[in-house]
Amino acid sequence: MSDDPTTSSLINLVEEHDRQHGVQEVRIKLPIGHIAGKWWGPRNVRPILCLHGWQDNAGTFDTLIPLLPRHVSFLAIDFPGHGYSSRIPDGLTYQTISSINLLLAIMTEYGWKKVSFMSHSMGAVLHFVFAAIFPDTVDLIISLDSLKPQVLPVEFMITRLADSFPQFMIADARNQQKSEPPAYTYDEMIERLHEGTFQSISKETCPYLLHRNIRKSAKYPEKYFFTRDSRLKHHAGHPFSHELIMEFATRLKMPFMFVKATRSPYFEEKKYYDEAVQVLREGNAYFELHQVEGRHHVHLTNPERVSPLVTDFLARYWTEDEDVVESKL
C-alpha cells in the first residue's frame, strides 16, 4: 500500500498476524450488500459473535482473541459503514437499533438457534438490547466497557438531534458526489486515531483498526483516507427511557460478564449505571462485574488484563455447539 518501509511493515504486521492465527475473512450477503467479518478458530463450532464499537471495526479484537482458548471460535464483524462492510444506501441514516435485524440475519445465514456475544462499547449496548428482546436465543454475553444504552437529559437529546440531522445531510451529499475524503500520511492517521479516542487506543495498536479503515489516496500516492462512512458521525444515539432499560435488565438471566475500565467515563450520570448494576445483581445469579485498569479500549491496548477474566468465564459457561453451517464460510 505504500513505498514507505515503516508503513509497509505496520500493514504487513497486521496481515501476518492474521495468517499466523489462521483468521479467515468472511462475507455475509445482505439486501444492502454484505457484512464482512473475521473468523477465528474451528470452522465447525458456532462462534462467539464479536461486535465492535462506534467507528471501530472487527480489528478491535485482534489483540484479545489470540490470548483466549484456541478451541473456542469467534466471529468479529464490521457493522455497515465500518471496515470492509457495505454502506447503507444514500439518503438513509445509521441507527444502532437497526442492527437488531442484522444480528438476526447472521443467525439465519449460519443456521444458529443460539447466539453468544463478546462486544465492546456500541456493540455491547446492542447485544444488551438484543438479549433483552430475545433472551431465549442468547446463551452468554461478555460486555467490554459499556453496559447498556445511555440515559441522556431531554434538552441534550433535542440539541443533539437538531445538530445531527443537518450535519448528516452535508455528509450524505458529499458521499453522493463520490469525492475523495481528506488524505493523511500513515503517521498522521495513527495520530488522528490516537488523539480522536482521547489516547484510549495506543499508537502501537492503532494499525489493527486502521488496517480495515483506510485506503490509499488516488491523488496523493503517499497518503491515505478513512473509508468508514462519514454519516456515522451524525447518528441519533439510543433513545430509550430509563424505565425501559431497567425492564430490559430484568430479562437478562443468562451468564453475563461486564468488564469496566477504571479510567473510562460512564457516558451518562452514574446513578443510572449503578441502578442497572443493582438490578442485574439482584435478578441474575450469573451476572458478574470486574474492573480493570485502563481506558475505554483496554481490551485492545492491554488485552492481557482482560483475557484471564474472559478465559475463566468461558471455562465456566461456554459449551461447544456444532450448530453451524460450515459450507457458508
Chunk the chain into consecutive blocks of 10 residues (it has 329) and report each block's average pLDDT, rounded to whole numbers.
58 88 95 95 96 97 98 97 95 86 95 97 97 98 97 85 89 89 94 96 96 94 93 81 96 98 94 97 98 98 98 97 57
One CATH from 3.40.50.1820, 3.90.550.10, 3.20.20.70, 2.60.120.260 for 5-154+241-317: 3.40.50.1820
Q: In the chain, which ranges are continuous DSSP H helix? A: 5-20, 99-110, 122-133, 154-177, 186-196, 206-210, 242-250, 270-283, 298-301, 303-317
Per-residue pLDDT, 231: 92
Per-residue pLDDT, 143: 98
pTM of the shown model: 0.93
The percent of residues above 70 in pLDDT, for the chain, comes to 94
Torsion sign, CA atoms 84, 88, 94, 98: negative
Per-residue pLDDT, 326: 54
Per-residue pLDDT, 94: 87
Cell numbers 460450515 correspond to what residue? 326
Domain ranges of the chain: 5-154+241-317
Residue 83's region, left for phi above 0, alpha for psi from -120 to 50, else beta, is left
CA–CA distance, 248 with 250 (Å, rounded to integer): 6
Is 58 exposed, middle or buried (CB count within 10 Å of its CB: 0-12, 13-18, 19+)?
Answer: buried
Supply the residues annotated as catalytic. Answer: 121
Per-residue pLDDT, 324: 59
User: Which positions ≥6 away from 203 have C-beta within 8 Å?
Assistant: 190, 191, 194
